[in-house]
């Protein structure tokens, strides 16, 4: 007998569907497995950053008074400042600005954390720093998760977390109150959401999270806003390939957008009108009232006749190099540079990322010409958007330095920190996939093969190098700078400036100067009176000095001594200064002046207009500091 076989009419799943289902299961299992890893990363870096917050001396972070005011107002009053009603309660900088009119994410976080930890008895100035520590620890965790999802490689994620978490400038940002921490966190979270969009179909949860991330970027800092156009392009490009319905996803996105930062725009419109949702108008009005700097003191490289191409391509005054150095680590008001290991490590990461993308474009073009195909078009599009964001961030940063104000501070580039990291590890993955590397990479191991114990060497070596570079920065630069060992100081004899004439004076501004038998009789005309000395005055200065000034004043005010190797006296790295309070009557002022490269010296005798002073003496004694302390004989 012949048996009749009845055909099975059930649909057979396609191979691609089965693979997609398997990948979905693997991703879910990985998420459960890596949940503990993410928690470990978060707690480890939070502990490290909180320790740094408690140890770093108050005042180490730039603009600490202004940042403190932004957080303290929310802490004290429980709401955002509304101007001009709260004007008398606020601190205004020399630019006439107040941090309470800036996007408030950092200050809200700091105030909330400080309220939650009031019971600890820790000084509020340090409690506010915990907000930055929290945001930066969250940033490292987000970068760990995003890198793990994009590459499906835990070692890549661990190295990415270490590269960011131990970046000297980032660690410094995590240890003091500032708004850069919020900018870096919000953009990193938004990039993570875009990674989710690139690697798999988003659900309702990721739609809500993406909207929240967009809102947090709005709520963080102006430098973070520069990434929003590229995030919008990525969202439009990758979301169009998703299957409908879109209505629920769009509604959830808008809900997240409002919860993240849209409410702040509504708050601003309610208090300042439809024309000022970003507070630019009210900020300009208050700056006119409270600005203490002269407009001539605020200038960019453009005032020196430099173009944007000259600044970037021509690297005017080492602008590109100094910006990268500052982004990696030029800490404490640009006074603390690090060493070659730190700069070499991170510049190699950035350089590899950019070279990889250029080669990627060349290879893709070759494949298109010869019709060999490219199965990673989505990732190439995503990497193109990341590269565009990097270039745009740097161009806008350079443009600000060119047209508005010279501030060679690479921290303004750090909001897009996640972008070069993704490109760098894409380069590493491409190298791993090469035929030669696939042959010998698995052989680079250590352990006991006879017992089946083989541990990959390269990942552990990478982790060790990153950690050792950070430890080197701490041991050789950070600790000696903030907690210097006891030193022996010897003071030489005082060399006096001849005040019987004005041979040492190059020019005076906003004051009248008359030579008298008793000294220089000075009458200030504005609150920015200046005496610029000739460069030969630097001959009596050394690296470390004691400056002694004797004068008679008819008022209380402030005297300030500047030195600048470039002679431009604008706010940047080459300028240093020391100040002293003066009182009505006789004054004997003694000030320490640490001058690295002395080019020009400027004395601002008073910060008040229409006042008179008699400069009776101006002398300098050189200091010798012995780094190996010894006992003086009694």
User: Which tens digits make up the pLDDT trace of 189-220?
Assistant: 999 999 999 988 778 889 999 999 999 999 99
Q: What is the value of pTM for the model shown?
A: 0.79
DSSP per residue, 530-573? EEEEPGGGGGG--SEEEEEEEEEESS-EEEEEEEESSS---SST
The conformation of residue 3, written as its DSSP 8-state character, comes to P
pLDDT computed for residue 308 by the predictor: 94
DSSP per residue, 133-158? HHHHHHHHHHHHHHHHHHH--HHHHH
Q: Cα 420 from chain centroid?
A: 15
Q: State how far the Cα of 69 lies from the Cα of 123, in Å rounded to an integer.
A: 15
> For residues 211-249, b (16+ Cβ closer than 10 Å) or e, as one string?
bbbbbbbbbbbebbbbbeebbeebbebbbeeeeeeeeeb
Q: Is the peptide bond before 84 cis (omega within 30 degrees of 0)?
A: yes
312: which 2 tokens?
């970037």
Quickly count: other Cβ atoms within 10 Å of residue 477's Cβ: 18
Q: Which helix (DSSP H) or strand (DSSP E) does residue 271 occupy?
A: helix 263-272
pLDDT computed for residue 612 by the predictor: 94
pLDDT computed for residue 435 by the predictor: 54
pLDDT computed for residue 450 by the predictor: 57
pLDDT computed for residue 175 by the predictor: 96
pLDDT computed for residue 216 by the predictor: 98
Series of mean pLDDT values for 10-residue runs along the chain (634 residues): 44 43 47 77 97 91 90 96 93 90 97 96 95 98 96 94 97 96 98 92 87 98 97 88 74 96 97 95 92 80 92 93 94 89 96 92 70 63 95 96 92 96 94 66 56 68 94 94 80 91 92 94 91 90 91 93 74 71 94 82 91 94 71 44
* Helix, strand or coil, per DSSP, at residue 394: helix
Q: Where are the domains of the chain?
A: 23-467, 490-626
State the architecture of 490-626 in CATH terms. Answer: Sandwich (2.60)
Q: State how far the Cα of 324 lies from the Cα of 346, in Å rounded to an integer.
A: 9
Number of Cα atoms under 13 Å in the Cβ half of residue 219 = 27
């Amino acid at each position: 007998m012949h048996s009749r076989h009845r055909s099975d009419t059930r649909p057979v799943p396609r191979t691609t569907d089965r693979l997609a289902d398997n990948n979905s299961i693997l991703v879910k299992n990985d998420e459960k497995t890596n949940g503990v890893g993410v928690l470990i990363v978060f707690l480890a870096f939070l502990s490290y950053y909180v320790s740094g917050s408690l140890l770093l001396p108050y005042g180490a972070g730039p603009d600490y008074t202004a940042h403190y005011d932004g957080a303290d107002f929310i802490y004290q009053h429980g709401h955002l400042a509304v101007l001009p009603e709260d004007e008398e309660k606020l601190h205004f900088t020399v630019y006439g600005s107040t941090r309470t009119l800036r996007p408030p994410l950092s200050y809200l976080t700091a105030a909330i954390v400080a309220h939650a930890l009031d019971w600890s008895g820790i000084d509020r100035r340090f409690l506010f720093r915990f907000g930055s520590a929290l945001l930066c620890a969250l940033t490292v965790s987000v970068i760990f998760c995003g890198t793990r999802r994009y590459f499906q490689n835990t070692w890549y994620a661990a190295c990415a977390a270490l590269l960011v978490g131990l970046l000297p400038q980032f660690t410094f940002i995590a240890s003091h109150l500032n708004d850069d921490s919020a900018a870096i966190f919000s953009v990193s979270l938004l990039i993570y959401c875009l990674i989710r969009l690139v690697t798999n179909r988003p659900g309702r949860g990721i739609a809500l999270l993406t909207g929240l991330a967009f809102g947090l970027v709005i709520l963080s800092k102006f430098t973070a806003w520069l990434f929003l156009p590229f995030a919008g392009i990525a969202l439009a490009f990758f979301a169009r390939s998703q299957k409908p319905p879109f209505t629920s996803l769009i509604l959830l996105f808008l809900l997240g957008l409002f919860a993240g930062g849209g409410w702040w725009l509504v708050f601003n419109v309610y208090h300042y009108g439809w024309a000022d949702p970003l507070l630019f108008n009210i900020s300009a009005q208050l700056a006119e009232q409270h600005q203490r700097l002269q407009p001539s003191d605020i200038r960019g490289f453009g005032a020196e006749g430099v173009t944007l191409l000259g600044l970037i391509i021509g690297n005017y005054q080492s602008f590109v190099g100094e910006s990268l150095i500052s982004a990696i680590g030029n800490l404490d008001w640009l006074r603390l540079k690090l060493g070659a290991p730190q700069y070499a490590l991170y510049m190699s990461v950035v350089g590899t990322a950019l070279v990889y993308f250029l080669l990627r474009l060349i290879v893709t073009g070759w494949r298109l010409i010869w019709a060999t195909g490219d199965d990673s078009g989505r990732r190439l599009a995503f990497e193109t958007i990341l590269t565009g964001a990097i270039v745009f961030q740097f161009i806008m940063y350079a443009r600000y330095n060119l047209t508005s104000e010279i501030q060679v501070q690479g921290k303004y580039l750090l909001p897009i920190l996640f972008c070069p990291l993704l490109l760098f590890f894409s380069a590493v993955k491409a190298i791993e996939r090469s035929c030669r590397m696939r042959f010998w990479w698995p052989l680079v191991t250590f352990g006991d093969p006879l017992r089946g114990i083989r541990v990959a060497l390269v990942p552990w070596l990478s982790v060790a190098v990153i950690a050792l570079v950070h430890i080197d920065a701490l041991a050789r630069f950070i600790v000696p700078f903030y907690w210097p060992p006891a030193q022996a100081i010897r003071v030489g004899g005082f060399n006096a400036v001849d005040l019987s004439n004005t041979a040492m004076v190059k020019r005076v501004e906003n004051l009248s100067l008359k030579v008298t038998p008793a000294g220089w009789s000075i009458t200030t005309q504005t609150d920015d009176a200046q005496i610029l000395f000739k460069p030969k005055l630097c001959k009596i200065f050394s690296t470390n000095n004691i400056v002694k000034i004797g004068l008679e004043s008819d008022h209380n005010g402030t005297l300030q001594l500047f030195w600048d190797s470039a002679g431009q006296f604008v706010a940047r790295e080459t300028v240093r200064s020391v100040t002293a309070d003066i009182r009505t009557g006789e004054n004997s002022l003694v000030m320490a002046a640490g001058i690295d490269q002395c080019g020009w010296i400027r004395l601002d005798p008073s910060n008040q207009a229409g006042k008179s002073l008699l400069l009776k003496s101006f002398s300098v004694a050189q200091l010798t500091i012995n780094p190996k302390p010894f006992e003086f004989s009694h």
